């Protein structure tokens, strides 16, 4: 008699590990990018291949630290993987009660580069 061993970690465990590995570099890359909010009233974010939303969370943190009146008007968090989309949906739902900006996050399944034309483009 043989026993089947599933060595594939659960989605929450994969995402939690991913955040520990990619979170600090994501935060550092955002800081080094020179992203500032000094002359902006609102920002719009597209996080393509969002996975667990590490970059989105880091952007929210930067906006809070900037101590400005910047409003995050729209965030699109997209991924091709339904498992990752499920995780970010749970993350959004869990964060809605803490006065975060996760309420502005739209979660979409994207399997190709999305082209978005801004209404402000000329």
φ/ψ of residue 121, rounded to 5: -70, 145
Q: What is the reported pTM?
A: 0.73
By the 10 Å C-beta count (0-12 exposed, 13-18 middle, 19+ buried), 77 is classed as: buried
- Per-residue model confidence (pLDDT) at position 121: 46
Tens-place pLDDT, residues 83-93: 888 888 888 88
Q: Which two tokens stand for residue 30?
A: 């955002």
Q: How many residues does the chain have?
A: 122
Per-residue DSSP letter, 53: T
Tens-place pLDDT, residues 102-120: 888 999 998 765 555 555 5
- Per-residue model confidence (pLDDT) at position 10: 65
Q: Which two tokens stand for residue 17?
A: 């590990």
What fold, for 11-109? Rossmann fold (3.40.50)
Contact 45, 80 (CB under 8 A): no
For residue 45, list its beta bridge partners: 75
Tens-place pLDDT, residues 27-61: 888 888 877 777 778 888 889 888 888 889 888 88
- Domain layout of the chain by residue ranges: 11-109
Q: What is the mean pLDDT of residues 14-33?
A: 81
């Amino acid at each position: 008699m043989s026993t089947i061993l599933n060595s594939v970690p659960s989605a929450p465990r994969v995402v939690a590990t991913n955040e520990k590995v990619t979170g600090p570099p994501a935060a550092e890359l955002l800081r080094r990018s020179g992203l500032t909010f000094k002359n902006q009233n609102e920002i719009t974010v597209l996080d393509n291949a969002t996975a667990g939303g590490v970059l989105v969370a880091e952007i929210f943190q930067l906006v809070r630290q900037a101590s400005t009146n910047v409003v995050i008007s729209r965030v699109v968090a997209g991924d091709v993987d339904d498992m990752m989309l499920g995780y970010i949906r749970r993350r959004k739902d869990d964060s809605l009660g803490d006065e975060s900006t996760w309420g502005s996050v739209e979660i979409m399944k994207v399997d190709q580069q999305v082209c978005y034309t801004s209404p402000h483009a000329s």
